[in-house]
């Protein structure tokens, strides 16, 4: 049991509401351009479930997803220079809390992810399949035991990153006190960011605020309009530059008063025309530039010269 515990602990990347990989005191200062990799929705089990038309119980195989996740890890490991971190924006697995294949899916995903280069920290974001469409204290605790805190912040080179549990915005009816706790914490974090005069503030969450337009109708893939409006205004006032999400299994995005909403397609099952892929995000002095790459393109060609040039610029 000791060995298993150690193996599990390796994935508790965020504790005490911060990411353990970066020492905060070293990271308040801007040190020049860097980049990170954003992936979303490896969602072990969805491809089979989608193919057989049973998204509740059809997730009994995930061999395809294992291969895709392996390809993603191998592509990231080959990159030079190395990304600062690899963030997975939720729906790590398909099996909802309490379903049959969940434990096996989590185990198999961890097996793939543990091959990520030791110098590339993993950042986990909770999705609806990870904590449930209507999360409870128990489902969130369970997630935290497996993957680390469900919301936290961290600094990298003068840039402030916030990871949020978007499920608390989607439906917190069974754990209103947890939503309130995240709200209080978020306000504190935004005050900290203002005090430290960070270069940029960037948010990661699973469910997008919106897919294309800030005032679009609410559906399964975005947040309810009044909730969305409140968050967008808060983010805009705090000077947040970008929100990166998954959940849609297609690429999308838009902007609200200078806040960019970036929706990235999946490593796993595609629900649209996009390729299985990852997003490369370059953070420079002035701006945040990002590009979505298919796993095949990233594996074979790496990052294109234009982005490498941005990284090489010394401020």
Confidence (pLDDT) at 54: 96
Nearby residues of 255 by Cβ (< 8 Å), 6 or more positions away: 214, 261
Residue 157 lies in a domain: yes
Residue 7 lies in a domain: no
Distances (CA, A) of 97 to 87, 94, 127, 133, 306: 22, 9, 11, 9, 43
Residue 93 lies in a domain: yes
Nearest CA to 277 out of 78, 68, 108 is that of 68
Residue 228 lies in a domain: yes
| Residue that the structure tokens 């205004």 belong to | 233
Nearby residues of 246 by Cβ (< 8 Å), 6 or more positions away: 39, 40, 41, 89, 90, 91, 125, 127, 206, 263, 264, 265, 266
Q: β-pairing, 34-39 with 277-283?
A: antiparallel
Eight-class DSSP state of 282: E
- Structural domain range at position 225: 18-310
Tens of pLDDT, residue by residue over 134-185, are 999 999 999 999 999 999 999 999 999 999 999 999 999 999 999 999 999 9
Tens of pLDDT, residue by residue over 218-239, are 999 999 999 999 999 999 999 9
| CATH number, domain containing residue 263 | 3.60.21.10
Tens of pLDDT, residue by residue over 83-132, are 999 999 999 999 999 999 999 999 999 999 999 999 999 999 999 999 99
Residue 5 lies in a domain: no
Q: β-pairing, 86-88 with 34-39?
A: parallel
Residue 296 lies in a domain: yes
Confidence (pLDDT) at 290: 98
Please state the domain count of the chain.
1
Residue 172 lies in a domain: yes
Nearest CA to 107 out of 157, 73, 146, 71 is that of 146
Residue 105 lies in a domain: yes
């Amino acid at each position: 049991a000791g060995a298993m515990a150690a193996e599990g602990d390796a994935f508790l990347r965020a504790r005490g509401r911060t990411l353990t990989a970066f020492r905060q005191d070293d990271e308040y200062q801007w040190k020049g351009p860097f980049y990170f990799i954003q992936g979303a929705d490896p969602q072990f089990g969805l491809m089979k479930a989608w193919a057989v038309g049973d998204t509740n119980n059809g997730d009994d195989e995930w061999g395809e997803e294992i291969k895709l996740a392996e390809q993603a890890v191998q592509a990231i490991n080959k990159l030079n220079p190395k990304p600062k971190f690899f963030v997975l924006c939720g729906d790590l697995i398909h099996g909802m809390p309490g379903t049959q294949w969940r434990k096996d899916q989590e185990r198999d995903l961890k097996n793939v992810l543990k091959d990520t280069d030791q110098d590339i920290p993993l950042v986990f974001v909770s999705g609806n399949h990870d904590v449930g469409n209507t999360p409870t204290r128990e489902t969130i605790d369970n997630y935290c035991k497996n993957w680390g805190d469900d919301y936290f912040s961290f600094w990298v080179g003068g840039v402030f990153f916030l990871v949020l549990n978007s499920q608390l915005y989607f439906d917190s009816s069974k754990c209103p006190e947890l939503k309130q706790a995240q709200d209080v914490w978020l306000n504190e974090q935004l005050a900290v960011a203002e005090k430290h005069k960070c270069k940029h503030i960037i948010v990661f969450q699973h469910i997008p605020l919106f897919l294309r337009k800030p005032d679009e109708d609410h559906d399964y893939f975005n947040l309810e309009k009044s909730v969305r409006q409140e968050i967008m205004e808060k983010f805009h006032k705090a000077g947040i530059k970008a929100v990166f999400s998954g959940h849609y299994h297609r690429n999308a995005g838009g902007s609200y008063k200078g806040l960019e909403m970036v929706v990235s397609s999946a490593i796993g099952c595609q629900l649209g025309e996009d390729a299985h892929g990852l997003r490369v995000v370059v953070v420079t002095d002035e701006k945040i530039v990002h590009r979505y790459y298919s796993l095949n393109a990233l594996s074979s060609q790496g990052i294109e010269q234009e982005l490498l040039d941005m990284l090489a610029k010394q401020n």
